[in-house]
Amino acid sequence: MKKSLLLIGVLSLASIGFAGAKKYDISLSTASKVGSVTLAPGSYKLQVEGDKAVFTDSRNKTITVPVKLETSATKFGQTSVEASNKTGQEVIEAIDLAGTTTKVEF
């Protein structure tokens, strides 16, 4: 009995690792530079994996860029993109992740 409970516990913990990180929806109205890459206008799923951000477009093409994670004192109510216009091009500086205290900085 104890072995089967232990096995169930181990399998449950292992499945958590396979569940994957949460994905956040973002939408870009114009081409935007993130890190050294330019993202085309459109909808993306953003997933943070350690010190990398993975953007997946509607055709399942992925783009990975390095990030720095910052922690806010309060949770963000919605996912929002912080960008500025530098030399005529939108540059994403950070993304606040809804329901978390995590800010992804590029």
Per-residue pLDDT of the chain (106 residues; tens, 9 = 90+): 443 333 343 334 443 444 457 999 999 999 999 999 999 999 999 999 999 999 999 999 999 999 999 999 999 999 999 999 988 899 999 999 999 999 999 9
- Is 23 in contact with 55 (CB distance < 8 Å)? no
Give me 36's structure tokens: 């050294």
Could you state, in order of their start, the residue ranges of all structural domains in the chain?
22-105
Q: Spell out the residues 6+ positions from residue 15 whose beta carbon is closer than 8 angstroms to its own.
A: none
Distance CA(80)–CA(94), nearest Å, equals 8
Indicate whether this model's pTM tops 0.85: no
